Amino acid sequence: MQTKGRILPATAEAIAEAAALLKAGGLVAFPTETVYGLGADATSEAAVARIFAAKRRPAFNPLISHLPDRAAAQGLAAFDSRARALAAAFWPGALTLVLPRTTDCAIARLTSAGLESVALRVPAHPVAQALLRAVGRPVAAPSANPSGRLSPTRAEHVAAALGGEIDLILDGGACEVGLESTVVGLIGPAALLRAGGVTRESIERVVGPLLVPAEGEAAPVSPGRLLSHYAPNLPLRLDATSVRPDEALLAFGPAIAGGAMTRNLSAGGNLVEAAANLFQMLRELDRPGLAGIAVMPVPEHGLGAAINDRLRRAAAPRGEGR
């Protein structure tokens, strides 16, 4: 086998090679509109186990399985009227649905962390679509980073963090959304399990008010529910109104003065731009020799809710299970 961690432009030939690797039990990183995913055959317990090993991910943290369209997803889970409405409104796109498994669901139990549910998404990215159609089976794909660390939005991020663990990295350029998918649970009342690339407001226009479960449960029912997650090496100080000389500054809107270095999520206060820049700019500010990263306030509406969710998790105390 050739050297691991190869980055190939996402040509038709590279996608065909990636599909063959996945069908053979390999690991392939690929772009979606949200972040880069670390893909494995979701129907193979052994292949899924490679994801957990590569990411050093707690085995109780479920994985999202990706499909090319709703038809491919319908045999894997029970779609009620709410699920059908959300799929019609937001698939393909940055929405994951947590649904009851069907009795003959082919997705490996390890993918679901032993739960009687599955997390399903139909991504919109053309490279992801082409890969999923070539594989012809569900692909489990959490973000392609060590568990708890910054999510990758470029192929080089994947190579730097996990290159030695991955058989192939498909390079589709920078991710457009830059935040993980929104996760909605439909096991009982509709619940917002993770804020993300589709806003809560737009989802509630389809299915009504969403419950928001308490944070940090010991055995998450959804990806991205651990309190300490998406973290750089430096500590984060949120809602900063000043910055010390030994800190980096992550700004939003007009930047405050000072600090060792500054990156601005969006000088014009655009939340879409800020979401796309979040993980890349945190990486750029995460430099040795600094005391931490001061983060200016981000509005708590629209995509701002997802941005703040990631920032709060990145700033949380760092214990076991990250």
Cα–Cα dist 283/290, whole Å: 13
Task: Report the percent of the chain where pLDDT is more than 70.
Answer: 91
- Identify whether 200 is part of a domain: yes
Return the DSSP state at 237.
E
pLDDT tens per residue, range 99-150: 999 999 999 988 887 688 999 999 999 999 999 999 999 999 999 999 878 8
Q: Say how far apart CA 205 and CA 202 lie, in whole Å.
A: 5
141 in a structural domain? yes
Same domain, 307 and 167: no
Give yes or no: residues 189 and 251 share one domain: no
Residue 320 — very low, low, confident or very high, per pLDDT cuts 50/70/90? very low
pTM > 0.85: no
Residue 100 maps to a domain: yes
In a domain, 250, yes or no: yes
Beta strand segments in the chain, E: 7-9, 28-31, 36-41, 64-66, 95-100, 117-121, 139-140, 168-171, 182-185, 191-194, 236-237, 247-251, 261-264, 292-295
Say if residue 102 is in the same domain as residue 18: yes
Q: Looking at the predicted structure, is the pLDDT value of residue 321 above 50?
A: no
Q: Which domain holds residue 297?
A: 236-315
37: left (phi over 0), alpha (psi -120 to 50) or beta: beta
Side chain identity at 202, as an amino acid letter? Answer: S
Give the total number of structural domains in the chain: 2
The answer to whether 171 touches 282, Cβ cutoff 8 Å, is no
CATH of the domain at 270: 3.40.50.11030
> What tens digit of pLDDT does each residue of 237-252 get?
999 999 999 999 999 9
According to DSSP, the β-strands at 64-66 and 236-237 are unpaired
Q: Give tens-digit pLDDT for 197-240.
A: 999 999 999 999 999 887 654 445 556 555 555 678 899 999 99
